Amino acid sequence: MQINASHHRVHEKQPYRTWYHFQPPQNWMNDPNGPMYYKGVYHFFYQYNPYAATFGRHMVWGHSVSYDLINWIHLNHALEPSESYDINGCYSGSITTLPGEKPIIMYTGSDTRKHQIQNLAMPKNLLDPFLREWVKHPQNPVMTPPSGVELDGFRDPTTAWQGSDGKWRVIIGAKNGDEGKALLYHSEDFVNWKLHYNPLYASDSTGMFECPDFFPVYISGTKNGVDTSVQNSSVKHVLKLSYQNKQQEYYLVGEYFPDQEKFIPDPDLGGSCMDLILDHGMFYAGKTFFEYGKNRRILWGWSKECDTTQDDVEKGWAGLQGIPRQVWLDKSGKWLMQWPIEEVEKLRDKHVSIMGEKLVGGSTLEVSGITASQVDVEVLFELPELESAEWLDQSEVDPLLLCSEEYASRSGIIGPFGLLALASEDQAEHTAIFFRIYRAPNRYVCFMCSDQSRSSLRQDLDKTPYGTIFDIDPNLKTISLRSLIDRSIIESFGEKGRICITSRVYPSLAIDKDAHLYVFNNGSQSVVISELNAWTMKKAEFDQE
Ligand code: DQQ
C-alpha cells in the first residue's frame, strides 16, 4: 500500500529546481539504490522521505523508470517500512539479477530497536515491464549485525557477484568506532548467508563505510564495462566506499583474489596524486550498475543541498542525483574516468561555438546566445609552453586552501583560467571552475577547482570551495573542461573525465534569463580557446504514473 505522501505544494517560484537532473516531484531524496537495466527499462530507486523535505525516520525506496536514463516516469514506492525488521526505515541497498533473469533487492532495514539488518525483496510480477510491486522475502532478515560491529553500523549491501564455485558474495558496510569495515558474506542460495572471517577491506580511522560498491574494470583502457561477477586476468577491481566521517567518495583500485577472498589495493600512486576520490564536490553514496546492452558501467550519485534546512522546507524538496556517468579505468590503470552518459546529449538544443580565440591575461569573454542557467558546455584550452609555469613547493600545498579565497580572481602565470558559470551580468555572482598549472620538481601539476565562494550574494549558504591537484604530462598541449550547468547544480569534468567536481549553488541574481556564462583567463600567459561548444539544455520529462 502506498503511504499517503504529504501534499505540501512545491513552491511556485523555483529557480533552483533542475531542468534535467533527476529529482522526485517533492520532498527529501538521498542515496541512489538498486539501479538496473532490465528488459529494455532502466530502473532507479532512491532513498526518499515521503513526508517532508528533510531526512526522516521512515525512509522508503522511491522508484522511477526510464527508457533512456534522462526522461523518467515516477512510480509508487517500491519498499516502505511495514515489518518489524524494517519498521524504522528501508535504507540503502542494491539489486542482483539471479539466474532466470530474476532481480532481487537486498536492502537494510532498521528494526524495532533500530538495529540494522539485511532483507530481501523480489518483484511480485516479473511480467510487469515496470516491476511496480515488490514483495518482501518470508525469511527476512537474512543477516543481523555480527560481533565486533555496531548494531546501527551494519548496512548498505552491494550488488552480489558469483564466484566460479557458484557461491554468491556480497559486501556490507560496517563500523566499530572509528574503524570502517567492508564485511564479506557468502551464500549458496542468496537467503542463507555466512560471514567470511576477514573483511574484504578495513580501515581504522574513516568511520563507517557507507554505500560500498565493488566491481571489475578492464585494464585495457577500453570504455566498455564488465559484469560484476567477471574475474579474470583482463580486469582489476574497484572498491568504492563512502567515508561517513568525511562525507566523501573514496575508491581503491586493486587486485581481487577470490580463492583467498582478498582485495589488495595497488601500492601508493606516488607523485603528487592525492587520494582517489570519485568527485571532489557534493557527490555521495554513489552506486554503479552494469548495462549489458550498451556494454557499459554507469555510476549514480547523490548531490546534497548546500542551503539551509529552512530553505529546503520552503522549497519543498531537497536532494538531486548527478547525471549518470559512464565509468572505466584509465589506460594508466591508476584511476577511474567518468563521463556523462551520451543520452544527455539528446537534450542539447540551441548551440553556440567559439573557435581559436585567444584569451590574454586578465580577459573575460561571454558565451552568449544560450540560456546560461541550463547548459552543457565543453571547452578545449590550448596551453602555452609549460616551462613558463610558476614553481610550487608541494610540501606546503593544500588544494582546498589554494582554491579558496577567490583564488580564480588572483593572477598567476598559466591560469587560473576556466569558466564563470551561473554568473550575474556584473559577475558579482559566479561559480568559477578553473585550472592553474605549476612546475614541481621533475613534473608539472595542475589544480582544478570549483569555487562557490562568490556563487551567491546570500550569506547563509555553505560555499566551501572544492578542488584537487593532479600530475600532468609534461608535453601536455591542451586541457579540457566540460560543465553540466542546471540551475542549482554544476557538474564539472576536467581532463576528459579524470577529475570530477560537483557544486551546488543558489544564485540570487544569476537565475533564469539573468544567468550568464563566461570564459576567463587570469594568468599572465595567454591561453587559446581552441574550441568551445555550448548548448542550451531542454527540460527532461518527469511524469508521474
Ligand atoms: N543513507 C542511507 C544509509 C546510508 C546513508 C539512509 C548514506 O543506508 O548509509 O538513508 O547517505
Please provide the DSSP assignment of 8-75 as one string. Answer: PPPPS--TTS-SSS---SSEEEEEEEEEEEETTEEEEEEEEETT-SS--SS-EEEEEEESSSSSEEEE
Which of 49, 58, 156, 183, when mutated, tests ligand 1's pocket best, judged by the most ligand atoms within 8 Å of its CB? 156
Ligand 1 atom showing the smallest separation from residue 59 Cα:
10
Half-sphere exposure of 168 (CA within 13 A, CB side): 21
Please give the pLDDT value at position 5.
44
**Cα 407 to middle of ligand 1, angstroms:** 34
Q: Is 249's C-beta closer than 6 angstroms to any atom of ligand 1?
A: no
β 390-391/431-440 pair status: parallel
Contact 185, 172 (CB under 8 A): yes
- For residue 270, name the pLDDT band (cuts at 50, 70, 90): very low
Q: Which residues pair with 489 in a beta bridge?
A: 504
Please give the distance, rounded to the nearest whole angstrom, from the Cα atom of residue 529 to the centre of ligand 1: 42
Provide mean pLDDT across the span 222-230. Answer: 97
> How much is the pLDDT for 3?
43
Q: How confident is the model at residue 267 (pLDDT cuts 50, 70, 90)?
A: confident
CB 55 within 8 A of CB 28: yes
pLDDT of 2 reads 43
Q: Which ligand 1 atom is the nearest neighbour of the CA of 208?
A: 9
Task: Report the pLDDT value the prediction gives residue 45, as an integer from 0 to 100.
Answer: 98
Measure the CA angle with vertex 129, ends 128 and 133; round to 5°.
Answer: 50
Contact between 476 and 444 under an 8 Å Cβ cutoff? The reply is: yes
Cα 91 to middle of ligand 1, angstroms: 6
Distance CA 36, CA 30 (A): 18
Tell me: pLDDT of 421 over 90. Answer: yes
Kindly name the residue from 31, 213, 307, 376 that is annotated as catalytic.
31
pLDDT attached to residue 11 = 44
Tell whether ligand 1 has an atom less than 6 A from the beta carbon of residue 92.
yes
**What 3-state DSSP class applies to 374?**
strand
153 vs 150: CA distance, rounded Å: 5
User: Domains plus CATH for the chain?
Assistant: 27-305+313-340 (2.115.10.20), 349-544 (2.60.120.560)
Whether 108 is in the pocket of ligand 1, judged by its Cβ within 6 Å, is yes
> What percentage of the chain has pLDDT greater than the value 70?
94
Residue type, 272: S
Question: Does the CB atom of residue 88 touch ligand 1 within 6 A?
Answer: no
210 CB under 6 A from ligand 1? yes
27 C-beta closer than 6 A to ligand 1: no
Cα of 106 from ligand 1 centre, angstroms: 14
Ligand 1 atom closest to residue 211's alpha carbon, by position in its atom list: 9
Q: Which of 29, 47, 213 to mutate to test the pocket of ligand 1 (most atoms within 8 A of CB)?
A: 47
H helices present in 368-413, as ranges: 399-403
Alpha-carbon distance 93 to 63, whole Å?
13
| Residue 302 CA, closest ligand 1 atom number | 11
Is the pLDDT at 271 greater than 70? The verdict is: no
Beta partners for residue 3, in sequence order = none
Residue 268 has pLDDT above 50, yes or no: yes
8 Å CB contact between 536 and 374: yes
- For residue 1, what pLDDT is reported? 37
**What is the rounded average pLDDT of the residues 346-369?**
97
Does the pLDDT at position 358 exceed 60? yes
CB atoms within 10 A of CB 496: 15
Q: Which atom of ligand 1 is nearest to the CA of 244?
A: 7
31 is catalytic: yes
Provide mean pLDDT across the span 46-67. Answer: 97
Banded pLDDT at 269 (limits 50, 70, 90): low
450 lines ligand 1 (CB under 6 A): no
Q: Which has more pLDDT, 271 or 72?
A: 72
Please check whether residue 452 is in contact with residue 503, taking contact to mean a CB–CB distance below 8 angstroms: yes
Q: Of residues 272 and 238, which shows the higher confidence score?
A: 238
Per-residue pLDDT, averaged over 270-292, amounts to: 84
19 Cα–ligand 1 center, Å: 26
**What local confidence, expressed as pLDDT, does residue 403 receive?**
73
> Is the bond preceding residue 258 a cis peptide, omega within 30 degrees?
no
For a substitution probing ligand 1, which of 58, 108, 211 has the most ligand atoms within 8 Å of its CB? 211
Cβ-based burial of 124 (10 A; exposed 0-12, middle 13-18, buried ≥19): exposed
The alpha carbon of 292 and the centre of ligand 1 are apart by a number of angstroms equal to 28
Ligand 1 touching residue 31 (CB < 6 A)? yes
Residue 47 Cβ < 6 Å to ligand 1: yes
Q: What is the mean pLDDT of the chain?
A: 94
Test site for ligand 1: of 210, 245, 303, most ligand atoms within 8 A of the Cβ? 210
pLDDT for residue 399: 67
Do 379 and 367 meet the contact criterion of CB atoms below 8 Å apart? no
* Separation of CA 486 and ligand 1 centre (Å): 25
Structure-block grid coordinates of residue 252? 581503491
pLDDT at residue 252, as a whole number? 95
H helical segments located in 236-372: 309-315
Cβ 91 under 6 angstroms from ligand 1: yes
Q: Which of 86, 91, 213, 242 to mutate to test the pocket of ligand 1 (most atoms within 8 A of CB)?
A: 91
Lowest mean pLDDT: which of 9-18, 106-115, 299-308, 394-403? 394-403
Query: How many angstroms separate the alpha carbon of residue 319 from the centre of ligand 1?
Result: 13
Q: Is 211 close to ligand 1, i.e. is its CB under 6 Å away? A: yes
pLDDT of residue 150: 98
Please report the pLDDT score of residue 273 as a whole number.
Answer: 42
- Contact between 447 and 436 (Cβ < 8 Å): yes
What pLDDT score does 410 carry? 80
Residue 226's alpha-carbon distances to 115, 158, 201, 291, in angstroms, are 35, 16, 22, 8
What is the separation of C-alpha 156 from the centre of its chain, rounded to a whole number of angstroms? 16
Q: pTM of the predicted model, to two decimals?
A: 0.95
